[in-house]
A and B are shown apart, each in its own frame.
Chain A
Amino acid sequence: MRPINSKITKIIEETPSIRTFRFDTSLDDAQPGQFVMVWVRGVDEVPMGCSFKNGITVQKVGDATSRLFEMKEGDSVGLRGPFGKGFTLPAKDENILIIAGGVGVAPLGPLADEAISVGAKVTTILGARTASELVFEQRFSEAGDVHLTTDDGSAGTCGFVTTVLADMDVSEYDRICVCGPEIMMFNVLKMLEEKGVHDRAEFSLHRYFKCAIGVCGACCMDHEGLRVCKDGPVLNGSLLLDSEFGNYKRSSSSQRVKV
């Protein structure tokens, strides 16, 4: 597909470094966890988890996101998608645990919305470095219980999402849905493996994407050659054990770099 010309209708400053951009384009068939390629013309095109059917939630990290942060309401970008496989959709009366770190909230927000709409029960562990960096606190609260955690203790538990997770009885959850920095997700996977429930967990991964449509192989993971852009970005924990996850990834030139 060609990029859809999408006008920015609203910019919400979520934290000092994270903004939500809403568009006049709504990808109504987007499932929670799927992503769009956001073309900032003349700069680059980057993958972003859909935080709304018509929106993305972005942290300023590189050239494309920096240019995006200079944009105003009324400016436009090109959108392609939705692409990839998202989270398993919640069913009525299921018990879902969401674990979100930093801007990792982006694909999990719509999952929480979907869970309430079908009558599933949601508990969220929401983590950030500091209180002012917490995103979608109210959105997750509307879906169920929220356990806050910050690295500096400025809100909720002082520590990491794993600090909260360690004290939880995870066996009561049908599914555990995770997104955040890879080291955080890796530590969650290890903890869930110890508790014997890693196959109930789904992780939304980040890798360098070129084609984004499952052809070029730039985002393939060892050792199964799974394409993060098409077989993922959401992958079951059982597929990630004994993989490169948490150890290394590939750069734009496909060289291995440590996570």
Chain B
Amino acid sequence: MVKITGIEFRNPTILASGIMGTTGASLVRMANSGAGAVVTKSIGPEPKAGHPNPSMVKLECGFLNAMGLPNPSYADFDNEIKIAKEGADVPVIASIFGGNAEEFVRVAEGLADSKPDAFELNVSCPHAEGYGATIGTDSCMVESITAAVCDVVDVPVWVKLTPNVTDIKSIGKAAENGGAAAVVAINTLRGMAIDINSGYPILGNRFGGLSGSAVKPVAIKCVYDLYEALEIPVIGVGGVSTWEDAVEMIMAGASAVQIGSAVHEGVEVFADIATGIEQFLQNNGYAGVEDITGLAHEVI
């Protein structure tokens, strides 16, 4: 059992936003596959079709995607959260996005009736103009949006950060100052692939975000830095596909880990990683995840 921002999770693995989170039924399936909590697809103020395909490709080193925040809008999504809450025996976190504080507030208020256990603010999607990282690279906007959402909801607010900044600590601080209960780091790294036969960028949006094993060292460093700079918990995400990756992320400073692209190898990944972490803790005489959270800071 892990407790973060007042919410109890049965294990420290969490389904990352954007993965299998479009419907209530798929969120339930991920919970039944062993996830300790699930985060929905990012939901916005209006229905959005997203970018044209190809929107995700597996490359030699990881995955490149530019979905373009496809979503049915909060008005059509509250029912999916209700389905997830009824069917899943784990906390359900609503990921939301908007172009400004008013839109974030409108979406959060629109979803409040479906009673998500927390909100995760997406200020980090790297390829949606006017949304995501456009906001998340500006610490003033991060602080004001976080504060605005915190004002209108009565559940914890997490803020998911982009690594595409010079200093992620200052953005993390802004989220903390705005009232965030936790930060989630990292979202994808901006990237691109080109088809050398035609010269066309492969993604329909031309560029997108890199995820998977390739980004893990970047995520570890961001989590390490944020753990040092912030008082609030850090939830680690980026390239976690094995229990060893998860333990490494936790030792960098994460209180829990989110898992995204690794679902590609099988939905059993949550149970496999949770069991692996538990076994590691037992084998080494640790009482819980909190015993190794940030261990890499203490040994030096």
Contacts and interface: CB of A to CB of B under 8 A. Distances in A.
Interface of A: 1-3, 5, 37, 39, 41-46, 76, 78, 80, 209-218, 220-225, 227, 250-256
Interface residues of chain A: helix, strand, loop or mixed (majority): loop
A254 B72 contact: yes
Contact of B195 (A2, A211, A213): A2
B29 interface: yes
A217 B261 contact: no
Q: Chain B, interface size: which category?
A: 35 or more
B204 interface: yes
A215 B72 contact: no
Contact of A218 (B22, B30, B59): B22
Interface stretch (B43-51, B136-144, B292-300): B43-51
Contacts of A213: 56, 58, 264
B164 interface: no
Given A5-B195, A222-B25, A254 B71 contact: yes
Residue of A37, A209, A217, A255 with most chain B CB atoms under a 10 A cut-off: A217
Contact of B20 (A39, A212, A225): A225
Interface in B79-128: none
Closest 7 CB pairs of A and B: A225-B29, A5-B197, A211-B56, A45-B53, A225-B26, A217-B20, A252-B49
A45 B65 CA distance: 14
Contact of B70 (A43, A218, A225): A218
Nearest to A45: B53
A217 B41 contact: yes
Given A211-B55, A252-B50, 6 more contacts: A1-B57, A37-B54, A42-B200, A223-B25, A225-B20, A225-B29
Interface string B6-37: 00000000000011111111111110000000
Contact of A46 (B53, B70, B193): B53
B47 A222 contact: no
Contacts of B57: 1-3, 80
A2 B193 contact: yes
A213 B19 CA distance: 11
